[in-house]
Amino acid sequence: MKKWNQLLLASFSALMLTLPATAHVVEAQSEKEAENAVKNRQALFTLIRDNMGPLGAMAKGKIPYDTQIMEANSLRLQQFGDMIHHYLSVDTRKFDVQSDAKAVLWEDFSEVEKKANDLKVAAKNLSDVVATGDESQYRKAIGQLGSTCKACHDDYKKD
């Protein structure tokens, strides 16, 4: 009996490791809390853009590929990607805030988490591609990363 419990626990832990991190939607309780939530998520996306910018410029041939920047920024984008579900999980719909988030964002949050995870996976792929040093693959990997921004914005961000 004890053995079974341990086995169950072990397989449960293994399962938890393979699932993307999940956050529960929480409603902002006051206007101030809602405003802070908007400020924080916009700050996160500002940092995300700042790290994506040079990568996009490299893929477009506007600046030369710099593997040190690619390495650093793709790692940061993985880490920022890890924070997205947390910073988007505060439902601010009840308050009149200056936000570009669409109301549907909090209706099926598991979809949002999936899209945030896609960004992480694409950023990790770029790190892996840079580690191989195969320059012919950089453009494609950056393009895939950029398309994860668009995929989420198309559904959840007002233009």
With tokens 């961000």, the residue in question is 157
Please, which residues have CB within 8 angstroms of residue 92's CB and are 6 or more apart in sequence? Answer: 28, 34, 37, 38, 99, 101
d(CA 156, CA 98): 15
**Residue 32 Cβ, how far from ligand HEC at the closest point, in Å?**
16
Of residues 60 through 99, those in contact with ligand HEC by CB under 6 A are 84, 99
- Give the range of 5-13, 38-46, 64-72, 134-142 binding ligand HEC by CB under 6 A: 38-46
The tokens for 158 are: 């007002």
157 binds ligand HEC, rule: CB under 6 A: yes
129 binds ligand HEC, rule: CB under 6 A: no
116 binds ligand HEC, rule: CB under 6 A: yes
Sign of CA dihedral 50, 109, 36, 82: negative
* Residues that contact ligand HEC, how many (by CB under 6 A): 23
Virtual CA dihedral for 78, 79, 83, 84, nearest 10 degrees? -30
Residues engaged in binding ligand HEC (CB under 6 A): 38, 41-42, 45-46, 48-49, 52, 84, 99-101, 105, 112, 115-116, 119, 148-149, 152-153, 156-157
